[in-house]
Chain A
Amino acid sequence: MSKKRIVITGIGVVAPNGIGKEQFWLSLKEGRSGIKPISRFDTSEFKCKLGGEIKDFKPTYFLGYKGLKGLDRSTRLLCSAAKLAIEDAKLSINYNNTDDTGVCTGTTLSSLWNFAEFDKELIRDGPLFTDVSLFPGIVINAASSQVSIRFNIQGFNTTVSTGYSSSIDALKYAIDFIRLGRIKAVLVGAVESLSLVNFAGFYHLGFFAGIRGEELSCPFDKRRNGIILSEGAAVIVIEDEIYAEKRKANIYTEVKGIGSFFDAYKTGKYHPEAYGLKESMKKAIYSSELKITDIDYISASANSVPQQDRLETKVIKDVFGKFAYNIPMSSIKSMIGEPYSAGGLLQIVASVGSIVNGFIPPTINYKIRDNDCDLDYVVNKARIARINNVLINNYGPGGSNASVVIAKYQ
């Protein structure tokens, strides 16, 4: 496979703390949280009330009224982010280039709401009287397909569904497609939306902060006790560098290296040595052809789960040795919560902001030091810094791990 340079030329983001890249970057820089009491469904029967909910999202603003009725929230979020990304990249998709453009989306639970509603009516009203309009939306590739339908993108359309690491895995798939010479530009997307179904699921698994202790997202802090679930969508346009230059695109950053690893251990459990995350980081750095000392910032996957943050800290020390202490790192999940499959791409969008605008977003809510987490965490306040190369990690319990290195384009 040829080593074509892969560049990021467009960004669309709909996050709990900001819609559009400028708002999102500003919120991150100011340490503004998008975590708030959930209003989308009734939480009175749960101990936990908070979520990273996008409250001021008006899909008609992005997508108009026509055809919106049949789209669930996840699809609306993803299509809106796609519209922003296409506009940002000044990508004109037409008869001549539609076959050169593809869509690749990372998502795992986005169709769960449709599934649950379809099933609910089936049980309540009987098998002959369920709402058929919900059915096309229960397939996991529904959201991604709607992006292609709406924006007439015919090159390819794939949904990658690997849990936490889905969106970085989707990026890897898209990069491979470009490097194989089968496509020139890809809209890489990620989406998850908050619904009673996924909230209840994670709650009963005991994953939430607030079940035991304070309901707070405070990665690396000693008080951390679980995730705060959130929603969000991001889409980036990636292109073969030559294609981007030919169409005089604005290049934000380059995707230098990427790696993923599945360390199957036990359902819903972390590998005790975070072996997969370590291998993903090594693969990402190795394929970037950078030295470990070239990494200026690590965007952590840390999501305020005691074991996750400790393991990530440990494997960073394993990979970077004594240099680990010199590299600033932070977790934006302190501000956006845990958006599950969408987390990796939201971190990538945040990190593009770090490179372009020269800042490291903080890990907010940090108060009490944990001796197991002793690296250079940028806490509570953004740090102004010149960033050339960022390592982004994404992993969770269950075995899927992914890392990516993005770099200043030069």
Chain B
Amino acid sequence: MANNFEEEIKKLVSDITEVPPEKLKPDADFFKDLGVDSLKAIEIVAAFEKKYRVIIPEKDIPNIRSIRQIIEYTKNLK
């Protein structure tokens, strides 16, 4: 993982949600705060998996609802 991992994740989420990176708070809930629908949520997961070449198990997906949770989850993957 790159050093600027958090920034990379922000950009990835920003590209999909169309919310500027500076407005993306680490704890903002994708569904409640950013207007992400189920399709966009799948896009976020798929883009993450593609970028870092990992597979997130189906059961974990509903628990990842913010940028901070993506980062925390990734720590466990290492």
Point out residues on A near B: beta carbons under 8 Å. Answer: 65-67, 69, 125, 128-133, 136
B27 at the A/B interface (Cβ < 8 Å)? no
* Cα A130 to Cα B45 with chains together (Å): 12
Please name the residue on chain B nearest to A136 by beta carbon.
B39
B16 close to A128 (CB less than 8 A): no
Query: Across the interface, do B43 and A66 meet the contact criterion of CB distance under 8 Å?
Result: no
Whether B18 lies near A128 (C-beta < 8 A) is no
Question: Which residues of B (12-70) have their CB < 8 Å from a CB of A?
Answer: 15-16, 18, 39, 42-43, 46-47, 49-50, 53, 55
How far is the CB of B19 from the nearest CB of chain A, in Å? 10
Chain B residue at minimal CB-CB distance from A65:
B18
Q: How far is the CA of A125 from the CA of B18 in the complex (A)?
A: 25
Interface residues of B (CB under 8 A from A): 15-16, 18, 39, 42-43, 46-47, 49-50, 53, 55
Chain B residue, CB-CB nearest to A125: B50
In the complex, besides A125-B50, A128-B49, A133-B43, 14 extra interface pairs with C-beta distance below 8 angstroms are A65-B18, A67-B18, A69-B15, A128-B55, A129-B49, A129-B50, A129-B53, A130-B46, A130-B50, A131-B47, A131-B50, A133-B16, A133-B47, A136-B39
Residues in A with CB closer than 8 Å to B55 are: 128
Residue from A65, A131, A133 whose CB has the most chain B CB atoms within 10 Å = A133
Question: What is the CB-to-nearest-CB distance from A68 to chain B, in angstroms, rounded to a whole number?
Answer: 9
Between-chain CB contacts (< 8 Å), 8 pairs: A65-B18, A69-B18, A128-B49, A129-B53, A130-B50, A131-B46, A131-B50, A132-B42
> What is the minimal beta-carbon distance from B77 to any residue of chain A, in angstroms?
15
Which 4 A/B pairs are nearest by Cβ-Cβ distance? Answer: A132-B46, A129-B50, A133-B43, A132-B43
In the bound complex, CA of A132 to CA of B49 (Å): 11
The B interface is mostly helix, strand or loop, or mixed, namely helix
- Could you say which residues of chain A place their CB within 8 Å of the CB of B18? 65-67, 69
Give the residues in chain B near A128, CB-CB below 8 Å.
49, 55
Q: List the B side residues contacting A131 at CB < 8 Å.
A: 46-47, 50
Q: Given the complex of chains A and B, what is the CA–CA distance between A133 and B43 in angstroms?
A: 6
- Chain A residue nearest to B55 (CB atoms) is A128
CB distance from A244 to the nearest CB of B (A): 37
Residues of chain B with a CB closer than 8 A to A129's CB: 46, 49-50, 53
**Minimal Cβ-Cβ distance residue in B for A69:** B18
CB contacts (< 8 Å) of B53 on chain A: these are: 129
In whole Å, how far is B26's beta carbon from the nearest beta carbon of chain A? 23
The residues of A that contact B47 with a CB separation of less than 8 Å are 131, 133
A403 → B minimal CB distance (Å): 41
Q: How far is the CA of A67 from the CA of B47 in the complex (A)?
A: 18
B40, chain A: closest CB distance, angstroms: 8
CB distance from B66 to the nearest CB of A (A): 20
In the bound assembly, the distance between CA atoms of A130 and B47 in angstroms comes to 8
Q: Which residues of B contact A125 (CB under 8 A)?
A: 50
- B2: min CB distance to chain A, Å: 18
- B52 CB, nearest partner CB in chain A, Å: 10
Minimum Cβ distance to chain A for residue B47 (Å):
7
Shortest distance from the beta carbon of A71 to any chain B beta carbon, whole Å = 12
In whole angstroms, how far apart are the Cα atoms of A125 and B47 in the complex?
Answer: 12
B50 proximity list for chain A (CB < 8 A) = 125, 129-131
Please, which residues of chain A bring their CB within 8 A of the CB of B39? 136
In the complex, what residues of A have CB within 8 A of residue B46's CB?
Answer: 129-133
State A2–B43 Cα separation when bound (angstroms): 48
Complex Cα spacing A67 to B18, Å: 8
* Cα distance, A69 to B19, chains bound together (Å): 12
Q: How far does the Cβ of B4 sit from chain A's closest Cβ, in whole Å?
A: 22
CA of A409 to CA of B49 in the docked complex: distance in angstroms? 59
Query: In the docked arrangement, what's the CA distance between A173 and B55, Å?
Result: 46
Among A125, A128, A132, max chain B CB count under 10 A is at A132
With A and B bound together, what is the CA distance between A69 and B12 in angstroms?
13
